[in-house]
Amino acid sequence: MDTTPALKKTPLHALHLSLGAKMVPFAGYDMPVQYPAGVMKEHLQTRTAAGLFDVSHMGQVIVKAASGTYADAAMALERLVPVDILGLKRGRQRYGFFTDDNGNILDDLMIANRGDHLLVVVNAACKEADVAHMQANLGGCSVTLLTDRALLALQGPKAETVLASLAPDVSTMKFMDVREVSLVGSPCIVSRSGYSGEDGFEISVPADKAEELAQALLSHPDCEAIGLGARDSLRLEAGLCLYGNDIDTTTSPIEASLEWAIQKVRRSGGEREGGFPGAERILAELTGGTSRRRVGLRPEGKAPVRAHAKLYADAEGRDEIGEVTSGTFGPTAEGPVAMGYLPTAQSEPGTQVFAEVRGKYLPVTVTALPFITPTYKR
Amino acid sequence: MLKFTAEHEWLKLEGDVATVGITTHAAEQLGDLVFVELPDVGTELTKDGNAATVESVKAASDVYAPLDGEVTEVNQAIVDDPSVVNSDPQGAGWFFKLKLKNTSDLDALMDEAAYKDLIG
């Protein structure tokens, strides 16, 4: 049902159709939301074996300093993110976010030290804006959006077994390692990371080899194709933010409970304190706290509580105190799971609040994130 | 006699009481259901008014009243296990029974052949 010619296609588009995927528009791309197995089975497949996701719509960006040194590229990017990039070791990556002058979040991203340059992976919906933002602010660096590469995510407890069947040495990689690996005869950039709460890998592959690689991975009996529907329920159970839902230009990293991603060296008293957009507010919030926080929410009944549901202190809907930003049914949690913002005073796990769903006020308990136990290979 | 609505519900009439559910096509489109909310017995429903709610992992959807009538029985089995709607939508996955205000209203609904044309 590809009736919208304006939608872009990833290098795996034909494969999705051949697998019987249900396609939907997502961030300007025609993407598989689910395959014939359905969201529930796809989610459980990823938690118990391995799932293969096409995330080629995301932006892969090379940042390289004119000097050719990693340090110059790292120092430049540190002007835009409150993260220790200079201290990132060769072959390692970490999570970060672009902040704006008000200290809110422009996008979240992964940043890898690739020896003499940075590889940055950003969200599909933000990639043009992110590239423009970096080009405007990273003087002395070239910023290049890669348009000739696909990105595959292989996730789940069997991900290592599946990928090692093509390249045995990936078994020696640890969580957040990044290295070049030859797959289907082609140089790929592999990171041991993902967005599901499971062990797994993200694989940057030349576009013209993407389908061959996907077929090779799918031919393993433990691996199945997984759509965006299960990607969302997996990341929500894992407590991971979705940009545009849980974080955006109205939320600061501290409000979003993402202070763990801001290393000491960039905080007050650190060697490279501040020096990023909105630093004044963010550094103040790191010590003084915020009036609201992103929290995990566990609805008590069976009804999913979705994004934008209002949260109340009381069961009568008189005292509105917050809002749900993501919510669904968690197939592994075997019940509804959600995230949202609450006043700091009501953000402690165990606190009961009420969510408005179709005119009713359903009890919801603040819960520590994640909802599952991650299986990252540290 | 089986009748269908454009909102993808089926009705099976026995006397003046119609058993109502969602079609196989609708169940396939919705995907795996994880939550079902049914009307209370005794509720007076108005055609095209909200009668029930179903939720998949992805989204919530309304189920509309196919005709005017009073709810006489609901299927607790699909509340306890919503996957029954996916596995047997036009059998064990029925939603509720509706005592029709006017059984002749049923004539305006589609028969199976017309519904199959609708969904292509």
pLDDT tens digit sequence for A143-162: 999 999 999 999 999 999 99
Task: Give the separation between CA A105 and CA A251, rounded to whole angstroms.
Answer: 6
Task: Give the separation between CA A217 and CA A231, rounded to whole angstroms.
Answer: 18
User: Residue A192: pLDDT above 70?
Assistant: yes
Phi-psi region of A191 (alpha: psi -120 to 50; beta: other; left: phi over 0): beta
Task: Give the separation between CA A324 and CA A310, rounded to whole angstroms.
Answer: 6
Q: What is the DSSP string of A354-377?
A: EEEETTEEEEEEEEPSPSS-----
User: Please, what's the b/e burial string for B16-33 (b: 16 or more CB within 10 A of its CB; e: otherwise)?
Assistant: ebbbbbbbbbbbeebbbb
A8: DSSP letter: B
Residue A39 at interface with chain B, using a CB cutoff of 8 Å: yes
* Chain segment B73-102, per-residue pLDDT in tens: 999 999 999 999 999 999 999 999 999 999
Nearest to A54 by CA among A171, A132, A155: A155
For A271, other C-beta atoms within 10 Å of its C-beta total 10
Both tokens of residue A37?
């197995």
- Kindly determine whether residue A38 and residue B32, on different chains, have CB atoms separated by under 8 Å: yes
Amino acid symbol at A115? G
Residues 327-366 of A with CB under 8 A from B: 328-329, 331, 336, 358
> Residue with structure tokens 């008590």?
A300
Q: What pLDDT was estimated at residue A4?
A: 52
ipTM over 0.90: no
Q: What pLDDT was estimated at residue B120?
A: 86
Task: Give the separation between CA A345 and CA A166, rounded to whole angstroms.
Answer: 51
Residue A33 at interface with chain B, using a CB cutoff of 8 Å: yes
Domain boundaries, chain A: 1-290, 291-378
* Chain segment B14-23, per-residue pLDDT in tens: 999 999 999 9
Residue A32 at interface with chain B, using a CB cutoff of 8 Å: no
- Kindly determine whether residue B58 and residue A229, on different chains, have CB atoms separated by under 8 Å: yes
Q: What pLDDT was estimated at residue A5?
A: 60
Q: Which residues contact A213 (CB under 8 A, 6 or more apart)?
A: A152, A183, A184, A186, A188, A203, A205
Q: What pLDDT was estimated at residue B1?
A: 79
Residue B41 at interface with chain A, using a CB cutoff of 8 Å: no
8 A C-beta contact, residue B72 and residue B97: yes
* Chain segment A80-114, per-residue pLDDT in tens: 999 999 999 999 999 999 999 999 999 999 999 99
Q: What pLDDT was estimated at residue A227?
A: 98
State mean pLDDT over A204-210. 98
Query: Cis omega (within 30 of 0) on the bond before A370?
Result: yes
* Chain segment B36-79, per-residue pLDDT in tens: 999 999 999 999 999 999 999 888 999 999 999 999 999 999 99
Instruction: Flag whether A323 is marked binding.
Output: no
8 A C-beta contact, residue A31 and residue A21: no
- Kindly determine whether residue A229 and residue B57, on different chains, have CB atoms separated by under 8 Å: yes
Both tokens of residue A61?
């960006």
- Kindly determine whether residue B34 and residue A329, on different chains, have CB atoms separated by under 8 Å: yes
Q: What pLDDT was estimated at residue A3?
A: 53
> Residue with structure tokens 């939550």?
B35
How many residue contacts between A and B have a Cβ separation below 8 Å?
A: 43
For the domain bounded by A291-378, which CATH number is listed?
A: 2.40.30.110
For the domain bounded by A1-290, which CATH number is listed?
A: 3.30.1360.120
Residue B91 at interface with chain A, using a CB cutoff of 8 Å: no
Q: What pLDDT was estimated at residue A6?
A: 86
Q: Which residues contact A178 (CB under 8 A, 6 or more apart)?
A: A91, A92, A93, A112, A113, A114, A119, A189, A190, A191, A192
Residue A40 at interface with chain B, using a CB cutoff of 8 Å: yes
8 A C-beta contact, residue A245 and residue A108: no
Q: What is the mean pLDDT of chain A?
A: 97
> What domains are defined for chain B?
2-102 (2.40.50.100)
